[in-house]
Amino acid sequence: MLDFFPVACADTLGKIGLLVKARRLALGLRQADIKAAIGVSAHTLRKIESGSEQVDLRSFMLVLWRLGISDVVFTSLEGLEQASQVTRFTESVEGAQSLASRRVRLAKPKAEDF
């Protein structure tokens, strides 16, 4: 499964990478400036800007936050906890609120499943 990454996901990361680079340049920031501000390496920033899926989530979120674009990237998540996509899987308001603390164990997908 390590050799599989959905095309739609790769396209999304590519678009986010372009947005990150455009915003950084619009702010007049160098990669070294980002590194100094939040401690993310220039190599990691290059990977984010190129749309690589091999970036840790912490670094990815820190870069989005530092550039002020996390709200742009995740706009569709606004109010999700109250949206029908989440609440339709619960039977009460309390159930929806405790949803984040629940754990789910899924079967590991096999390469032949794809």
Query: In this structure, are 64 and 81 located in the same domain?
Result: no
Rounded distance between C-alpha atoms, residue 84 and residue 49, angstroms: 33
Domain identity same for 44 and 84: no
Mean per-residue pLDDT for 84-90?
Answer: 56
Q: What is the pLDDT of residue 65?
A: 95
Distance between CA atoms of residues 44 and 60, nearest Å: 9
Global pTM value? 0.69
In the 8-state DSSP scheme, what is residue 109? P
Residue span of the structural domain in which 63 resides: 7-68
Is the distance from CB of 34 to CB of 24 less than 8 angstroms? yes
97 pLDDT tier (thresholds 50, 70, 90): low
Residue 113 domain-assigned? Answer: no
Q: What's the pLDDT tens digit per position in 68-78?
A: 999 888 887 77
* Per-residue pLDDT at 11: 92
Check whether residue 84 and residue 59 sit in a common domain: no
Asked if 62 and 81 sit in the same domain, the reply is: no
